[in-house]
Amino acid sequence: MVAVRRDPARARVSKPKRGPSPRLPAGPDGFAQLVAFCRDAYLEVDRAGVVTQWNPRAEQVLGWRRHEVIGREITETALPECIGPSPFVRARKGALDTEVAELGWRGVRSGEGVRRKVELLHKQGHRIVADGLLFTVGSGASGGIAGFLYDGRGSASPGGPLSHADLHDRLTGLPNRVLFESRLARAVATAGSIPGAVAVVLLDLDRFQAINNSVGHETGDRVLAAVAGRLRRAAGDAELFARFGGDEFLALFRSGDGPVGDVASAFIERARLALAEPFEVAGSEVFLDASVGVALNTFGVDDPSTLLSNAEAAMYRAKQRGGSRVETFGESMRIEVVDRMTTEHSLHRALERSELMLHYQPVVELGELTTVGMEALVRWQHPSQGLVPPCRFIPVAEESGLIIPIGAWVLEEACHQLRDWQREGRTGPRGMVEVNISARQIDDPHIVRTVEGILSRTGLPPRHLTLEITETALMADAASALLVLRALKDIGVLLAIDDFGTGYSSLSYLQRFPLDILKVDSNFVEDLGAGAGGEGEEIVSAVINLAHALGLKVVAEGVETEQQLDALRSLGCDFAQGFLFSRPLPAADLIAAFGLQVSA
């Protein structure tokens, strides 16, 4: 048995080339929270011009959502070349704006920085001119430029007054986000410290993307216009009803003499009834529903942007809980938001400080019980919390966009590891490494190039890499996922559908995607082997037969007992993974424990 020698610098995450890297002046967690709740837009780009910070207010002012900009060059979104030279672009060109750089940290600490007019592009296409306070963050190769933008409400022509067209949505004729925000600011200012005098209701249509995908954007737009009409009627007594963007609508309620929660609830009821009436879409009837978030000016909230972000947080909670429901922002959600912010911020540092590491779990072939591959599973060695499992940070990484650099690191590290094992003669000619890819990575326009780059850098032949994508991620936007999967397949990697049985389990989709492997979720495996012919056995048997009919190999996840193993063998399952064989372990421990031989 040969001990594996790993390059310690590579055994943990190294700083990603294009990844987020906040370098904050003092009390980083406090700063991250400050930025999150700050009423000014805050953004940061690194030396490569890649956006690394984008607070909720920046989302509102510039229309771009965090997940749309983080990890991408700013020139691809809010600052296209046509806008002209800017400190943010100069950062991209590798030469930090000297005037900004000279001030550096001194500028931040003294609250000075450099004041400049900054021009950026709103997602809806109009220019935003704002006063910016700019300063450098970090230094040398890890330096970048940060800016607070004041007064960035935006104007269609620099400095000019806002026209009707600037304040209304073209498709629905409803007031837009800019008008809503200004009305909200006025309502909050008038309400003063009367808690519960202002309510914001945010409605986001459920599964609207699916309609757009199936009938096209033009028809989708017609449905949105019809939805807007119905909701506006339902919002009769609102102070303002607006389109927030996409399939999101906002209602503002205020009352001079008491809480407005009841009025808002009555509106939501009417709105949901209005949506429940069928819509005619391409000759058939479609029923819609919405996820609704409500926020009141309680909890000492006295600024419009926090109220709006609270309504968004509540709406996301409604979505997370399956949609078609209403959530109101409350204390527990507030704590959760702060927790998430803290996790997100520490996660940035995790990347910088090489706190991420991989564990590997053997995948076993059921005929000879030989190891044929290893699934790479990421872990976070948190300085104070110990080993943090992925379920505690992957969702935050996905939401913040950090999953792009994290995912790239995981891929590179896992490919290096297998290449090392191959060189040491530990793997047979078909030994595999399996890497999980999240939905957000599939959406990343650079994913194919990233995978190609990693394969060529590590020298791992593509047929030794399997990318695992969960069923839910595939179905979220099936049309574009299909294109990406085909492109990945063209590189020569294998594709697996992960956690099969936990999502839509759409069997017809299985046929459409260029998949090689199906991983049956552990929930089904759990029911196996208790007694012959149980319901669990029937389901697993049906899934295995279907997968085989489609030419897919089947991996059973979460195998813990001999009985489950026997049942799976008798059902003709090809491979298995689970604690029965081994828990996920660091590469060196796997070798120490088993002398690791990946033999296929």
Where on the chain is the footprint of ligand C2E (CB under 6 A)?
Answer: 361, 377-378, 389-391, 394, 407, 410, 436-438, 468, 498-499, 522, 557-560, 577-579, 584
Which residue, 398 or 498, has its beta carbon nearer to Mg ion?
498
Q: Which of 273, 170, 291 is nearest to 231 (CA)?
A: 273
Cα gap 194→317, rounded to integer Å: 26
The phi, psi pair for 339, rounded to 5°, reads -60, -45
263, interface contact from Mg ion, ligand C2E, none, CB < 5-8 Å by kind: none
Among the listed residues 436, 438, 441, 458, the single contact to Mg ion using CB under 5 A: 436
Which residue, 318 or 364, has its beta carbon nearer to Mg ion?
364
26, interface contact from ligand C2E, Mg ion, none, CB < 5-8 Å by kind: none
Smallest separation, CB 557 to Mg ion (Å) = 5
Smallest separation, CB 356 to ligand C2E (Å) = 9
391, interface contact from ligand C2E, Mg ion, none, CB < 5-8 Å by kind: ligand C2E
498 binds Mg ion per the rule CB under 5 A: yes
Query: DSSP characters for 334-399?
Result: HHHHHHHHHHHHHHHHHHHTT-EEEEEEEEEETTTTEEEEEEEEEEEEETTTEEE-GGGTHHHHHH
Strands 432-437 and 465-470: parallel
Q: Which of 444, 495, 450 is nearest to 468 (CA)?
A: 495
Which residue, 206 or 413, has its beta carbon nearer to Mg ion?
413
Q: Which of residues 529-568 bind Mg ion (CB under 5 A)?
A: 557
Cα gap 493→506, rounded to integer Å: 23
Smallest separation, CB 568 to ligand C2E (Å) = 12
Which residue, 388 or 496, has its beta carbon nearer to Mg ion?
496
Which residue, 307 or 408, has its beta carbon nearer to ligand C2E?
408
**Could you tell me which stretch among 12-20, 205-213, 415-423, 436-444 binds Mg ion (CB under 5 A)?**
436-444
389, interface contact from ligand C2E, Mg ion, none, CB < 5-8 Å by kind: ligand C2E
Q: Which of 213, 211, 210 is nearest to 279 (CA)?
A: 211
Using a 10 angstrom Cβ sphere, with 0-12 exposed, 13-18 middle and 19 or more buried, the burial of residue 230 is middle
Site string for Mg ion, 440-469 (x = CB under 5 A): ----------------------------x-
Q: For residue 448, give the amino acid letter.
A: V
Which residue, 355 or 557, has its beta carbon nearer to Mg ion?
557
- Matching residue, tokens 């009367």: 194
Dihedral (C-alpha) 305, 349, 315, 262: value to the nearest 10 degrees? -50
Helices 331-352, 28-37: inter-axial angle, 10-degree rounding: 130
- Matching residue, tokens 């700063």: 31
Smallest separation, CB 367 to Mg ion (Å) = 22
Among the listed residues 44, 181, 352, 499, the single contact to Mg ion using CB under 5 A: 499
* Chain positions contacting Mg ion, by CB under 5 A: 436, 468, 498-499, 557
